[in-house]
Structure 1
Amino acid sequence: MAKQILVVDPDDASRAQIVSKLETNQIRALEATDGRQALEVAHDARPDLVVTELVLGDITGLNLCRRLREDPALDPMPVVVLSRYADEVDRILCFELGVDDFVPKPFSANELVARLKAILRRPPARANTTAAPGAHGAAPPRPGEVRIGDLVVEATPRELQILAELVRQEGRVVSREEILERVWEPGTTATPRTVDAHIKALRRKLGRARDCIRTIRGIGYRYEPIPGKPISTPA
């Protein structure tokens, strides 16, 4: 079945350029011109990925991303943001909301589609754990969830990938640059501060289990298992 991507952009020319390139690559393109229409299409069609301009006519792109992430029926749908106006603060806010990539305008349509296809090919995050999913009689975590002991946390695909990478290298300090290399696609505009933003968002979701991710100042992060609380992610 062909993949579906929802393109949200009030600029007809920009939207048409993306739609044309997607269809050339055998990807079905859905269209929306504002945030409310985008939410309706997302609920009706359940696209595999959403590409949205940050500046929309009714709600902001940030609000759209937040609502996509807060809706359990839609999260963890990957989201990519496009904009020519966003500054570094806007980009970091996007990543804190769980956005998968940020592409500044003007952009190469070929490169954009290559990035989108890379995200669509991305396998679900899977951690090497000391306990199999569903251990101790618990139901295995669903897609978009991670289980630490009896705590079940919803996370974005990117956050799950970061956590899986840290767990895979349990006890070792993993630099921000290494996380970027292993988790993001080649040619990404993400920076070490992007990694920090994702870690911050992930820790906030982990709540009382947040201390399993330790900050090693000036270097990166280290995963330290919590005694008696095995971690598992979707298979």
Structure 2
Amino acid sequence: MPSTQDSKPRILVVEDETDVRNLICLHLKKAGYRLREASDGLSGLAAAKEEVPDLVILDLMLPEMRGEDVCRALKAHPPVAAVPVIMLTAKAREEERVAGLELGADDYLTKPFSPRELVLRVQALLRRSVASAPAEKLAAGPFELDRGKFDIRMDGSKLDLTAMEFKLLAMLMENHGRTLGRDRLMRDVWGYRSMVDSRTVDTHMRRLRAKLGKRAACLETVRGEGYRFRAGEEH
């Protein structure tokens, strides 16, 4: 029977600045989490593949392998593709935040940050991860989606989607026939307090439709309300 300690969520902290990493770990330990640390991108990616964490805290500027590349590799590796990622960066520009979120990061913090705020965001992401527990596999019309394998097929052929496009299509498929507003999509796809606006949603929808080609009509725009997935015979 596993001990109480073994049942606590495990968090992987990938941060090259020793002082920052120690501060993060100190507060997460106080909050009751188990921790694993890495000081560069390559060792962080190896640690995640060796022992799948419940959440990853990932610095953007890392030696050996940049944080964006680590995030991209995590989201492309099925066993860890669904693990929430919080990105840390010293850059405050909106385009940097959006770029990280588009790679599949679930939240974003700019240095310097409050350790208490980080702990609260960790708690929120882990609660959301457990509460949502979405179906691993979805099928609707010509589409078959497997979250565990990070795989989406249309008419039997694999689609090459980014992490955010995959999450967006999965969310729409899961709510087949229901209209989802931009606010709902920003909250559930881009994550807790993410720094995106409705234009980001619209841009991703345009890119997603372009990749669906002849099946693009399955993604309907409901004027003044949002978007809806329908994969009936008419599509």
TM-score range, shorter chain: 0.7 to 0.9
TM-score by length of 1: 0.74
Instruction: Confirm whether residue 125 of structure 1 aligns to residue 131 of structure 2.
Output: no
Q: Secondary structure at the match of 2:78?
A: coil
Instruction: Confirm whether residue 163 of structure 1 aligns to residue 170 of structure 2.
Output: yes
Unaligned residue ranges in structure 1 (runs of 5+): 230-235
Deviates more, 1:141-150 or 1:73-82: 141-150
Aligned counterparts of 1:62 and 1:95: Cα–Cα separation in 2: 10
| Match runs of 1:214-225 below 5 Å | 214-215=220-221, 220-225=226-231
Who is 1:116 aligned against?
A: 122
Who is 2:3 aligned against?
A: none
Q: Aligned-pair distance for 1:107?
A: 1.5
CA contact (8 A) 1:180 1:190 kept: yes
Deviates more, 1:64-73 or 1:23-32: 64-73
CA contact (8 A) 2:177 2:228 kept: yes
| Match runs of 1:85-100 below 5 Å | 85-100=91-106
Which whole-Å deviations, capped at 9, do the CAs of 1:33-70 have from their partners, x for residues lacking one?
11011012112221112111111122221111112122
Aligned counterparts of 1:38 and 1:203: Cα–Cα separation in 2: 34
CA RMSD of aligned residues (A): 3.8
Q: Aligned-pair distance for 1:193?
A: 4.3
Which whole-Å deviations, capped at 9, do the CAs of 1:112-152 have from their partners, x for residues lacking one?
1221222222223349xxxx96799xx99453455666456
CA contact (8 A) 1:39 1:68 kept: yes
Higher relative contact order (CA 8 A, sep 6+): 1
Q: Secondary structure at the match of 1:227?
A: coil
CA contact (8 A) 1:92 1:197 kept: no
Deviates more, 1:86-95 or 1:191-200: 191-200
| Match runs of 1:73-84 below 5 Å | 73-84=79-90
Q: Aligned-pair distance for 1:191?
A: 3.1
Who is 1:31 aligned against?
A: 37
One of 1, 5, 10 as aligned partner of 1:4: 10
Code of the residue aligned with 1:70 in structure 2: it is A
Aligned counterparts of 1:95 and 1:18: Cα–Cα separation in 2: 21
Instruction: Confirm whether residue 72 of structure 1 aligns to residue 78 of structure 2.
Output: yes
Who is 1:14 aligned against?
A: 20
Task: Report the CA distance shift for 1:72/1:210 in structure 2 as closer, same or farther (over 3 A).
Answer: farther
Q: Aligned-pair distance for 1:228?
A: 8.5
Aligned counterparts of 1:41 and 1:157: Cα–Cα separation in 2: 24
Aligned counterparts of 1:66 and 1:115: Cα–Cα separation in 2: 21
Q: Aligned-pair distance for 1:4?
A: 0.9
Query: % of aligned pairs identical?
Result: 32
Task: Report the CA distance shift for 1:46/1:107 in structure 2 as closer, same or farther (over 3 A).
Answer: same
Aligned counterparts of 1:14 and 1:209: Cα–Cα separation in 2: 47
Deviates more, 1:1-10 or 1:210-219: 210-219
Who is 2:58 aligned against?
A: 52
Aligned counterparts of 2:212 and 2:125: Cα–Cα separation in 1: 24
CA contact (8 A) 1:102 1:190 kept: no
Aligned counterparts of 2:233 and 2:83: Cα–Cα separation in 1: 32
Q: Secondary structure at the match of 1:81?
A: strand
Who is 1:232 aligned against?
A: none
CA contact (8 A) 1:84 1:104 kept: yes
Task: Report the CA distance shift for 1:177/1:25 in structure 2 as closer, same or farther (over 3 A).
Answer: same
Q: Aligned-pair distance for 1:204?
A: 7.3
Q: Secondary structure at the match of 1:50?
A: strand
CA contact (8 A) 1:49 1:79 kept: yes
Who is 1:233 aligned against?
A: none
Task: Report the CA distance shift for 1:199/1:28 in structure 2 as closer, same or farther (over 3 A).
Answer: farther
